[in-house]
Each structure stands twice: as structure tokens, then as C-alpha cells.
Structure 1
């Protein structure tokens, strides 16, 4: 319940004001005709607001209001008048009163505005009383922050700063209160220049102020800057963030900025970058030597083939050479993919590079073509080599299957995600047929055993066959595309 005291020597106005307020929920009203009676009531009761008329006999408003203030009463004081401000000298009264609307015209109109007016001045008074406590809490919060932080009002004057700001600038906090925040820009930059709090609402080239990596979002801005004179002239890198502050009424009341020293972070990043570059050079050199050694081995195998007259031996050496070629191609692609730090291979590019170089593709008694649908994903080196060897062995098996009277044979190769972190590789052809007793998983042939070893042991996957329409070999294995390492989530068989 809001307690209201009305003081007015005009009975009709007094009675009408009291009656109107009491008809509104939440108001309890006392009404008196003289300033003397009003002061007496105020000493014995606690009022939330006092409404006073003007020019009451035996009183002078400024003296009356001064008496109230000097007596220790801190409730809001509102002067009710229908006369002009110039006539009443209300500019002088406003220095003592909290509100003097000076509304002229219909008395009913003046009374009708009272409820909103009273609530407004009471709320403003409450906020005024709370400000010191809010300010103290604000200082405690900023002092708790690990970053140098300061707060400014809407005029750019410093109202709060913490000890970290004092350490950064060398300016004692008590010397900055009420000062323009340019005092900090001079200490930090060596000259007056915009800080982040000055750029929140501006759009332009921040590079001219030394800022980079600017990020903006609804009254907030952050960015990095190099400060050459900070830290006794040694300089350093700093990241800052500034945001607008708003009052209960939604109006902007100021801004806050925090500044974090990231010099050590940038130094560590530089060291890590240098170490990474050294690692990449070492990895590149290792891959280069492995590729060269594989090429030497391949050349030796080809030399052995040329010296041999045993056709079966030549065929087996040809298969071996294809496997070496597959591994060498993976290493070759790693050396080309500098953007992946020589650790990952695009599987689509790998398959496209492998097929033209495999010697088993010729000769065949028909025209051979490929229809490929490979997803655009990156695999680590081990998985990439495994996929290449799998394709090598699968194509070797499939091309041994009879084509009947077909003059043209199309082999389809697809690789896609089959559920979360499951890769599905399908090699199929409607133009070829498996023999009735053919089963990859049960074959004792070296290539079949190598295929099973790679899929089931290396990739933790499984192999399936489909004879419904031509031939199809389906391989599924687990792989995490997020960290580019073979997944250990699935062991043994993969759901079909």
C-alpha cells in the first residue's frame, strides 16, 4: 500500500485529490490544509510521497520544502499547480522538489495524471536509494574479474574500474573516477584514440585503429590489438570486449570494457606453429622416402617379371605390383595435400587416381567402363591405404568373373555413409556373374585372405555378397570423420 500525504489549502482540490487517489487500488491518503499540519503528520508517519499545493497562506514553498529536506525527510516531493512556471518561479522549486509538472487547464486532468506521476517519482526515488548499493556491487563484480575492466556512463566518464586496470595503465583507480575514459587510451596507446567502447555502434575500418579479428553482436564488440608501449615499452597482444549497458527503462546508461593480456598465448601459438611446421617437414620427408622405396620395389618386381618365363609367376608379381602401386599412390597424394598437414587423403581423388594405373584392367575380352559415386571425404593414411588395397583385390576378383556374351561391362563403385560413422563400399556389376561356389570369405586365395584381413581385422568391418542381379560385394566398416581415425566403437561385424 502506497502512503500519500496531500497538503493544499483549497478544500475542493484537496477533497477531489484525496477521493480520486483512494478510488485507485494501492493508495492510502492523508490530506491536510496547512504546511504546519503536514510537517506534524510527517514526523509521526512514514509517507512514500508528499503532494503539495502552491501559495498556501502563511507559507512560502521554497522555505516549506527546504524545511522538509532539512528535517531529514527523503520522500519524493511533488508540487501541484495549474499556474505557469515563470509565474511561480518553479525553476527554483525544482531544485528542492522532485517533480513540479506545471500542468495548466482542467483540474480533473491534473488529478487524472496523479496515479502515474506518483508511481513514477516513487520508483525513481527507490532507484536513487539503491544506486550506492548497486555501484558497490558493480565494483565488487569488476574487482572479481581476472581481466582489466572499466565502466563508463553515457557521457564517457569512468564510474568503475578494477585493480587489474590499474596494473595495466599504472593509474590509481581513485584518480580515474569521473574522468573521461580517454585517460586510459593515452596510457595504453600513448595517444587519444578510440577504444572498443567507442566502436560498439560504429561501422568502419577498424584496422586504422590497430584492431583486428573484430566480432560484433547486438551492442557488443570484441577484437585484438597490439599495444607497443605497454609493459614498460616491451609491448604485447591484447584481446578486448565491450558491451553497452542499459537501465531498467531500457535506455542506454553506459558501457563496459574488459581487456585481456594474450601475449603469452600468441607466443605459445607461434611456438606451436613453428613446431608444427617442423613436424610437417619431417612427415613429408618420411612420406617421400617411403614413396621412393615403394617405387624402387615396384621397379625390381617389373625387372623380375621381364626376366621370368613362368606365366603364373608373372601374374602373381603383377598382383603384388598393383598392391605396391596402391600404397605408393596414397603416399603420393599425401605429399600433394599440404593443406591437410600430410596426414589425410581425399578418398574420392584416391580412387580416381588408382584405377587408371592398375595393370589388371587390361587385357579383358570386352569394353570396360566404370561408374563411380564416391563421397567427398578425407581418410587418414592407414584407412586410405586399406581402401586402396580393398579395391585392388575386389576388382581382381570381379574381373575374373565370366561376362557371358557381353561386349560391354560396367563396374560400379560407390562409397557413402551408411548411418552414423559407418562407411559403405559397394563394388558391383550387372554384366558379370559369380560362379556358384565362389565365396570371398571362404577362399584360400592370397588376395581373398588379404581382403578379409584388411576388412575384418584392420577396419573392424565385414564383407557381404549379393547375387540377385549380377554381382555385388558390400563392405561396411566404422570410421569417425570428426577425428580422422579408425573408430573403435564397433568390433567384429557391422550391422547389415
Structure 2
């Protein structure tokens, strides 16, 4: 307990400690006089030494000697504890000073500019990096308003002050001493030093070079996109030239079988050319919107084969059904051949009918079906036929799409194809 008392005393400031010592001596002196006086009177009155005048003096001297010895060790212990406490304090202050130097060195030499400001915009701290970036001294910035270096303070940093998020990342612009601005990526968060003071700590990194490279890449990508669109445009035009040549050749032919084959070839060319047309007209060079594609294909097929108005073509495409160019071309070829088959053969003895085309995706699986309510066909005969169209369908589905082919001739004819997408976005 004595050590606890001494430790408490050691933590008392020197001025108060001196007063405590003086008061302690005064109290002990007064108590000593009272105790010695009472003890002397008691001894004299109750012993055989009533007539001995030296006894009270001896008692008093003994008391003061004992008290002095006690006070000596008491004060010695206090002095020792105080010395140890001072040594620890000096060591702690030295360590804190070294740590502070290290922290300041790190903050001043970091790659990021650091600045703190109060919620009213008053700057309270900046590091050397910020000063070098902006051409200010620390004294010129500290105490100034944040708007001196960040003109967008009212638009961005005030969002932080509203405490919508603890951590905030955004792009802004900092202004140099000579009025120039440059882009920065800023990470900022707010914190409280105590109940009454709140600050925003911001880390800013100059992204001028990054922006320059991004602009170069963006410009390069735009140029490449224009070139790719031009290539698709030229491919489409070349295919259109071939289609026109076939059309001219058809007008010279009198053999119905030849003209029929020329029409098939023209529509096949159009099915491929349409893919390139949609690509160069669209915003995304990677994908084909299958709803748009099938709608245009059906109109073209009606026109090429003079399809009766009573024969309807219905199209159902699941939302966001987009395919890469390779899958688009292969899928288009198969759908074209199936649609052509229905147009040419399904309604020979019927005045009206419906051809339905559906396509959907289930995770990575693509499922499409061409179905009509026509006269149907002999499945075995179809599988064993030497028809170029059917051979094309089987070849594309089995060897290029690695898919599954299902056909049925119940209530008309239907063909269902299922295949799995592999790296659709890279096609």
C-alpha cells in the first residue's frame, strides 16, 4: 500500500508536491507535539518519575528521531520513484519523438499527396508531396480553405462531409499555385479527433500520365473499331455484289432447277452478309442481336421466295439474346436452311400456315427451333437424303457447334438444336 501511495505522489506536479510535503511536515509536527505532550503528562502522572524533568525531553527527542528516520526513508522512496518516473518519461518522450520523426518522414515522402481539413474546409495538415505537386509551402496552405487547391470541393468533398460513406474514392482536379489544374484520384474518409472536432483525411495521386495513356488507348480502340466496322462493311458489300451477280445470272436462265439453286445460294449469301451488316451498324462489335437478325432475315426470305402473305413467320427470342460473330454465322446458316426448307416444302398443299422460330439461352446453353404446321416429311428419308441443305445443317451442328439435333414430323415439321457456348464474348 505504501508503494501505491508513493506512486500516486510521484505523479503529482512539482508545485503541488512541494505544498503536499510542507503540509505533511506541518501536520506531523503538530501531531508529534500533541502526542509527546499527552504522553509525557500521562507518564508523569501515572509513574514514579513524577519529579524527573528530563523524561519528557527524552520522549520528545526519541519521537523526533524516529519521525525523522521515517520521513527520511519516506522522502528517499519518493525521490527514487520520482527519478524513475522522470527517466521513463524522458525515454517515452524520446521514443515518441523518434516515432513522430519516422511518421513525418513517411508522410512527407510518400507517393501520394496528403491533406487534412476540417468540415468547414479549413486545412490543418499537408505533407511535402502536396506542396511539391502544387507549388505551395506548408505555411501558405495550413489555415487556408480547401477551395484554394480543390475548386470542386462543393461538388465532391461535401459528399464526404455529409457522411454518406466512411470511405470515398473519386476523381477530381487539384489546382497549382500558378492556376493550372491536373486530374487526381482521391481517397478520403472522415474521422473524429474528439467529440468536438471532426476531420477529413484525403490522399491524392496525380493521374495525368495515366489519363494520357488512357486517351491514347481510347483513341487507338476507336480507330480499330472504325477499321473493323469498315471491314465488315466491305465484306457485306462484296457479298452483296455476289448476290447481285447471281441475280443477274438468274434472269438469263430458263431452267427452273438452276434458277431455284441460284435463289438458294443468294439467300445463303444474304444470311451471312446480314451478320456483317448488323455488326457495322451496331454499337457493339462483339455481339449480334439475334432478334434483330432473325426479323431482317425473315423479311428478306419472304422477298426472295415471294412467300404467300397467308404464310406467317413468327419469331420469339429471349431477352438479351446476343451471340458472338462465329456463333451468329453458324446459327444463322442452320436457321436459314431450316426456314428455307419450310418455305419450299411445308405448304405445297396448303393455302396458309405458320413458321415459328424460337431461340433462347439457358446459362451457357443455346436452344433454337424452327417449326412449321405444314405437311411434314419422312424423317428417315430426310436423314438419308443427299440434300446440300440438310448436309450443311448436320455438318454445322455436329462438327462446328458440337451440338445436338432433334427432328420431329408430328403436326408439321420441327427441328430443335442445342449447343453450349464456349467463350462467346471472344468470338
- Structure-1-length-normalised TM-score: 0.60
Deviations 1:285-313 (A, max 9, x none): 22222222111111110111111122111
Q: How does 1:302-321 map to 2 (within 5 A)?
A: 302-321=247-266
Cα distance between partner residues in 1 of 2:339 and 2:357: 10
Match of 1:414 in 2: 358
Change (3 A) 1:139 1:463: farther
Residue 380 of structure 2 aligns to a residue in which SS? coil
Q: Does 1:344 align with 2:344?
A: no
Aligned to 1:485: 426
Look up the match of 1:330.
275
- Tell me the CA shift for residue 315 of structure 1: 1.1
**How far has the Cα of 1:408 moved from its partner?**
2.9
- In the TM superposition, what whole-angstrom CA distance separates every residue of 1:178-220 from its partner, at most 9, and x where no partner exists? x3253x754x46x997696555225xxxxxxxxxxxxx84244
| Corresponding residue of 1:287 | 232
- Say if 2:111 is the partner of 1:169: no
d(CA) in 1 for partners of 2:239, 2:120: 73
1:150 equivalent in structure 2: 115
State whether structure 2 residue 338 is matched by structure 1 residue 394.
yes
Question: Per residue, is there more helix in 1 or in 2?
Answer: 2
How many Å apart are 1:319 and its aligned residue? 0.5
1:44 matched to 2:6: yes
Return closer, same or farther for 1:309/1:430 CA change in 2, 3 Å cut-off: closer
- Preserved CA contact (<8 Å) 2:124 2:143: no
Contact 1:236–1:263 (8 Å) recurs in 2: yes
Please, which of 389, 399, 407 is the counterpart of residue 447 of structure 1?
389
User: 1:283: how far off?
Assistant: 1.9
For 2:128 and 2:201, the matched residues in 1 are separated by 15
- Kept in 2, the 8 Å contact 1:197–1:256? The answer is no
Change (3 A) 1:196 1:373: closer
Cα distance in 1 for partners of 2:347, 2:295 equals 24
Give the corresponding residue for 1:200. 160
1:241 — aligned with what?
187
Post-superposition Cα deviations, 1:112-153, rounded to whole Å, max 9, x if no partner, equal xxxxxxxxxxxxxxxx99998997786577568532123356
* Partners of 1:333 and 1:48 in 2: CA distance: 88
Assess if the C-alpha contact under 8 Å between 2:115 and 2:125 holds in 1.
yes
Q: Deviations over 1:67-120 (max 9, x none)?
A: 68xxxxxxxxxxxxxxxxxxxxxxxxxxxxxxxxxxxxxxxxxxxxxxxxxxxx
Structure 2 residue aligned with 1:474:
416
> Higher relative CO (CA 8 A, sep ≥ 6), structure 1 or 2?
2
Matched with 1:372 is: 315
Change (3 A) 1:485 1:198: closer
Residues 366, 409 of structure 1: 8 Å contact kept: no
**How big is the alpha-carbon RMSD for the aligned residues of Structure 1 and Structure 2?**
4.1
> In terms of Rg, which structure is larger?
2
Q: CA deviation at 1:396?
A: 2.2
Asked whether the 8 Å contact 1:142–1:161 carries over to 2, the reply is no
TM-score where L is the length of structure 2? 0.68
Partner SS state of residue 151, structure 1: strand
Q: Per-residue deviation at 1:328? A: 2.0
Deviation at 1:413, TM superposition (A): 1.1
Query: 1:58-69 maps to which residues of 2 (within 5 A)?
Result: 64=16
Contact 1:360 1:396 in 2 (8 A): no
Gap change, CA 1:417 and 1:350, over 3 Å in 2: same
CA contact (8 A) 1:433 1:471 kept: yes
Give the conservation status (yes or no) of the 8 Å contact 2:370–2:416: yes
For 1:361 and 1:449, locate their aligned partners in 2 and report how far apart those are by CA, in whole Å: 22
